[in-house]
Amino acid sequence: MPNPKRRFSNSRTRKRRTHDKLTPPVIPLAENIDKGAGIRSKRYICSHCKQVNEPHTVCHNCGYYRGKQVVSVGI
């Protein structure tokens, strides 16, 4: 198995690891989003019931997707 000829310096190792950090998910509040702003994070606000959802999925609360009811949700 090949091995490195020289040891990686601490700064080089840390530079490589800068992209491995974890960040908390950003969940926007319905009051803080403009109507025409679109998606500002990896979540979006349902236009029908104002719940926070994942993008490109049917709302689990009301069954709407892109302004149309796709699934009937039994309450």
Over the chain, what HEC string results? CCCCCCCCCHHHHHHHHHHHCCCCCCCCCHHHCCCCCCCCCCCEECCCCCCEECCCCCCCCCCEECCEECCCCCC
Q: Report percent pLDDT > 90 for the chain.
A: 21
46 within a domain of the structure (yes/no): yes
> Is it the case that residue 74 has pLDDT exceeding 60?
yes
**pLDDT for the residue 39:** 46
**pLDDT for the residue 14:** 94
14 within a domain of the structure (yes/no): no
Note the pLDDT tens digit of each residue in 27-43. 655 555 555 555 455 77
Check residues 38 and 2 and name the one with the higher pLDDT. Answer: 2
Number of folded domains that form the chain: 1
7 within a domain of the structure (yes/no): no
> Is it the case that residue 6 has pLDDT exceeding 90?
yes
